Chain A
Amino acid sequence: MCSLALFPPPLYSMNNVVCSLKPHSRQESSSKSAFRDHCETLYTRSAGAWRDAGLSGLLNEIANSSAEVPKWLGVSSSCVLALLRWVSSFHSSLFPHLTLSSEEMTAEFSQVLDWSDCAVRSFAWHPHTQKCAVALSDDSIKIYNPKSATTPTLKHRLQRSVAALQWKPLCASALAVACHNCLLVWHVDPTSLSTRPSSGCAQVLSHPGHSPVTSVAWSPNGPLLVSASPRDTAMLVWDVAVESCVPLHRVGGGGVTYLSWSPDGSRVLAATPSSLFRVWETRMWTCERWPSLKGRCQSGCWSPDGSRLLFSVQGETVIYALTFTDNPGMPLMMSGGPKAATVVADLSETTLNTPDGDIMVGGEIQSLAWDPRGERLAVHVKGRPAMIAVFKTQISPAFKLLPCGFVQGEAGTEPRLMQFNPNYQHGAQLTVCWSNGKITHVPFCFMSAGNPQPGLGGSPSLPLTQGRPADYNNQTLYTELIS
């Protein structure tokens, strides 16, 4: 294991900019002030408050409009409200994240850096075809497809503060959207020429207490969708076709923030807001607890064969790895899973010498992404400035991490979120959304070490997108000891 000091210094180079999105200046929260005050009856307002914020909202509304309600009602609702607040303050002293508002919570637990002021709220590649969905800060979703001229825009009444997107595997059209207080599953007909699919194309999946939804994950080979909310201790497993769900309750954690389904479909990582995460086994849906972390699990990613999990912890600058031995059908408790996580990489702050002067790299890890072939690992580092460090990885015969380089954007921009394109033929392709609203694709061209592509006919010409001096190539950051 070693630090970022072994990395080649980052070079500023132009990446291929695919699309540029203007950051929207209008925030959802400020849109209220754009309208004049409208006098509604107390009943309408109460109903709205009940719908938006539940019981406490309703009580708050009644207590605030004391002029219109009988005195006893106003007083009693104030009392109940105070009692509720007292109880919830006790509850949230156990789980501090419960004091956050829904928007803050989504921003806190999102994989996107600075989610609230980011032009691109979420991004998703289709798992099988060249198509991607982009959620913008005005709560609309655009679908880009290079083969079609139309760019459908998805808007829905309930589609607010989109935290995550994911396309359904083995399906051309279904897109799951994690929204403020529900899940939407859009069915966007790829052959349709319509640019504004009606909201009838969306299935609304909601469950009481399950809001805000911060993460969704489709099972890689089935009809199941799991969703997580930091306020709900249960993780919901949806059978989307029939719109039914099974809540999976477990004690501890106080909610579920982030979900990641392993590519082979056998396990699901479920992170909680406290220092605990779970790994579910999807055959019988039993789970393994991983308590006693330093902080909460911020991000995680699976190797393509589902045998290895890399995760990062909030407040720490290292990447941990867990190895699972594969024996399907056995519950995790007996399957001889890993006993402890090992540290595989350290990304603490380091100074690198460049011709332009020293620069600081490293810091806390925001998110992790592993390319579908298991050859490149991208680590989104929060430091100042935030940047993306890329590792070369090797999974078999032994797990290896080698330095590869940094991805940086134009001067003054920060990466906000990243995702690997699952359909890139010539290696790996990392899609990065930047703070200035641009989305760029960063290709990594390589011959797959394990199984060279027969059809490619030799090494493709490598576009120079990152500096990769030869002497850095063979420095191993981390090698697993084969015992």
Chain B
Amino acid sequence: MFSSDQSCCWFVRKVICWRAVASMAWSVLLLLPTTALFVLLIRFSLFHPILWISECLSLLTSASAIFSFILLCGVVLMVGFFNLEYYTVVPSIACSKIALLGQVLHPRQFVHSLVHCIMGVVVAWCCAFTIGGRYRSLGHSCTQDESSSGPEMCLNEYHLVLLLVGAFIGYSHSLVGVVYNMNYVSFHTMQQYKYLRFKGALPLVVKASAVQALYCLRTFLLLYFFMGYAPRAWICKTLDLNINSSIHSLDSVSSLLDLSLLYHLWISGTFLLLTWYITVLLFRIFVTEVYSFPVQSTFTEDAHQCLPKVITGTQPMILKFLALQDLALLSQHSPSRRLEVFSLSQPGGHPHIWTALSKECLSLLSDLTERLVAHHDTVATNGRAKSQSTGGNKRSTTSSEGSVTSVGMEDMKTPRPGALIRTPGSVFLRSSVGAGLRTPLTIPFTPDLDSPFSSPALRRLTGPLEPQGALSPGFSSIQSPHVMRRGPKLWSASTDSQLNGSPPPSPGPAPSPSQAQLKPSFLVTFLQNRKDQLPEASSQALFADSQVHIWALQGLSHLVAASFSEDQYGIVQTTLPTILSTLLLLQEAVDRHFKLPHTSSKPGHCSCSMGDDSYKTLRFALRSTLKTSVYRITATFGGHLHAVQMSAEHRKRLQHFLEYKE
């Protein structure tokens, strides 16, 4: 028998890696026209068109251009590698500002930022080389004054500015990537061929990179205007260059408003972002391509690659996603594969395939129901009772930010266990890194338990009076009344659950209520305010992985609807009551969730950038898919559903659906 380890390996090795390699190969190929376009644009001269074209051609064919092209290829490959290493199918949604800060300061993210910064410098160097002229090198010979002997090397500030722009854009790319979940890979409702999808997305990518480069440039120029002397002095010191006093330094208004400089910087920035964005885009397109799993196999050694086996696995997450996507598609479009699902096993005559598939889908859906109910309970009790049952009750801690704090507290009181339960929603946990949890998709903890802010370091910050950083009554006592009032607010489970583990706050005997506490208490207030959840985020985090639920719903409902005419042995009928009750329970939970005051009932409008924010609207898609799924079943079966056993409440609900009154 194959273990899940092996099954995950074959998929990553055989499919994901090859897809990543193919996407990188295409981005390297596309680098060629992009570079040519860049050269044409950057050398543009309106009045000498023939000179312009011939110069560009000679530049493109020169040996040095080939060298810088190879460098660019290296950068693109590196970006592609980082895409593969950092991508996630379940976005990490920061439920509070402090969690976001935790994400930004995470060591993994630090490596990402650093490498992108360096790659930005490399690309900018290539750009500077291509533009030539005054940008060509970092130093240039100059004669400072008559007294010195011979020419000295002076700093070429244009070159420096260009390199700094590259570094800045590289860093901001990495930073914006965290904030807008650039590493999140979303799946599309519409299937299209890769080429057509790329063609459709290309104009948006060009626009996004141009706009983003413009914004970055604005910020950079502001920064350089105020702090430009620092890097300049540092470079001069380390490389032993002089500053040419005869030329104005660039951090003045007049020299920064040099139009040709701005144009060159902007085009270079756009080029940098464009090549990287194209790499990201291609990676997304390739990795989300439909993979058709065999429903059953004739050979036992391939059994681990079949849909029923793959769909129950948990790692890597992308495998589960692709399997469910395949299930949803086969249930809609492929009668022959549906027939295999409805078939019986050859010796024995058991519907193993249908059982495995339906069981997995149902368990996913009931997990979501539980999660929603728990969230609802947390929010509902939040306003009234301060002391919930604490600690071990995982369900009560589902409200993401609160969960982190309370779980963090738990693990602090007990000795830290060696193998922490890591959840997939955690910050930079890649989907392939192991999780031993049966329900890996359930709890949307946002920040990693390992993140710096659940470490004692933070607690030392929040509770500065405690020598060990442990939570004690003193901690609660230093909270200002302001914080206390904020506590029982809706969706701020954080402060509330922070109190869970501690005795009820007593305003009285703090250890040393002295003047010295005022300052830390201000800090605490500040941190607590930052820890308040962003209103939408907790709802988004609950539905962060809802794409699998959407597919499970589609797959189940299409299969059930098809079984009306295609299921020869009546195997679906046996599960029909369970399916209906699961759907109706989920429907109830989703309805209740959307009635919560902080959940908006309509999707907001998306901004135009490379960050994929389709995770923000997943809950709406889920709600609509759920309703459609129930209607699909009721519309197919009609009055026959009266014969299905179910509770009176569900029957009433179903009657509404049968009468089209939902």
Contact = CB atoms under 8 A, between A and B. Distances in A.
B617 interface: yes
Interface residues of A, number: 32
B565 interface: no
Interface residues of B, number: 34
A203 B623 CA distance: 15
Closest 3 CB pairs of A and B: A241-B624, A242-B617, A170-B631
A223 B614 contact: no
B193 A284 contact: yes
Nearest to B633: A170
A283 B191 contact: yes
Contacts of A243: 602-603, 605, 617
5 contacts: A131-B660, A172-B661, A246-B192, A249-B200, A283-B191
B617 A329 contact: no
Contacts of B659: 129
Contact of A203 (B602, B606, B621): B602
A224 interface: yes
A242 to B, nearest CB: 4
Given A221-B632, A242-B603, A285-B191, A129 B660 contact: yes
Contact of A128 (B200, B620, B624, B660): B660
A126 B660 contact: yes
A131 B661 CA distance: 12
Interface string B170-209: 0000000000000000001111110010001000000000
B196 A242 contact: no
A334 B171 CA distance: 48
B333 interface: yes
Contacts of B628: 170-171, 222-223
A467 interface: no
Contacts of A241: 603, 617, 620-621, 623-625
Interface string B613-650: 01001101101110110011001000000000000000
Interface of B: 188-193, 196, 200, 332-335, 558, 602-603, 605-606, 614, 617-618, 620-621, 623-625, 627-628, 631-632, 635, 659-662
A221 B332 contact: yes
A40 B593 CA distance: 46
Interface string A215-258: 00000011110000000000001011111101111000000000
A305 B189 CA distance: 24
A199 interface: no
A128 B193 CA distance: 34
Contacts of A29: none
A241 B334 CA distance: 25
Contacts of B617: 241-244
Task: Output the residue of A170, A221, A329 with the most chain B CB within 10 A.
Answer: A170
A190 interface: yes
A374 B340 CA distance: 31
Given A242-B614, A243-B605, A244-B617, A171 B200 contact: no
Contacts of A171: 624, 627-628, 631
Contacts of B631: 128, 170-172
A191 interface: yes
Contacts of B661: 172, 190-191
A375 B260 CA distance: 72
B660 A239 contact: no
Given A128-B660, A241-B621, A285 B192 contact: yes
Interface string A57-79: 00000000000000000000000
Contact of B625 (A191, A223, A247, A329): A223
Contact of A242 (B191, B621, B632, B660): B621
What does DSSP make chain A's interface, helix, strand, loop or mixed? loop
Nearest to A328: B333
Nearest to A248: B200
A171 B605 CA distance: 24
Contact of A172 (B189, B191, B606, B662): B662
A286 interface: yes
Given A242-B614, A243-B603, A244-B606, A170 B189 contact: no
Interface string A149-180: 00000000000000000000011110000000
Contacts of A172: 631, 660-662
Contacts of A283: 191, 333
Interface in A264-311: 283-286
A143 B635 CA distance: 22
Contacts of A244: 606, 614, 617
A249 B196 CA distance: 10
Contacts of A286: 193, 196
B333 A284 contact: no
A460 B581 CA distance: 39
B563 to A, nearest CB: 15
Contacts of B196: 285-286
A285 B603 contact: no
Contact of A247 (B191, B200, B558): B200
Given A170-B635, A191-B661, A244-B617, A329 B190 contact: no
Contacts of B335: 328
B635 A246 contact: no
Given A128-B631, A129-B659, 7 more contacts: A170-B628, A171-B624, A172-B662, A224-B190, A241-B617, A328-B334, A329-B333
A362 to B, nearest CB: 39
A373 B470 CA distance: 73
A288 to B, nearest CB: 15
Contacts of B614: 242, 244
A328 B631 CA distance: 24
A222 B617 CA distance: 17
A165 to B, nearest CB: 17
Contacts of B623: 241
B186 to A, nearest CB: 10
A227 B625 CA distance: 20
A285 B333 contact: no
Contacts of A329: 333-334
B332 A190 contact: no
A239 B621 contact: yes
Nearest to B335: A328
Task: Output the residue of A239, A241, A246, A284 with the most chain B CB within 10 A.
Answer: A241
Contact of A223 (B189, B334, B603, B662): B189
Contacts of B605: 243
B190 to A, nearest CB: 6
A247 B660 CA distance: 32
A184 B288 CA distance: 31
B334 A246 contact: no
B314 to A, nearest CB: 27
Given A170-B632, A222-B628, A241-B624, A284 B191 contact: yes
A126 B635 CA distance: 13
A91 B527 CA distance: 60
Interface in A61-102: none
A240 B660 CA distance: 20
A243 B605 CA distance: 8
A328 B331 CA distance: 12
Interface in A123-155: 126, 128-129, 131
A221 B662 CA distance: 17
Nearest to A266: B333
Interface in A181-217: 190-191, 203
A420 B173 CA distance: 55
A17 to B, nearest CB: 26
Nearest to A237: B190
A335 to B, nearest CB: 13
B578 to A, nearest CB: 21
Nearest to A129: B660
Contacts of A221: 332, 558, 632
Contacts of B334: 328-329
Given A223-B624, A283-B333, A239 B632 contact: no
Nearest to B292: A329
A247 to B, nearest CB: 7
Nearest to B337: A329
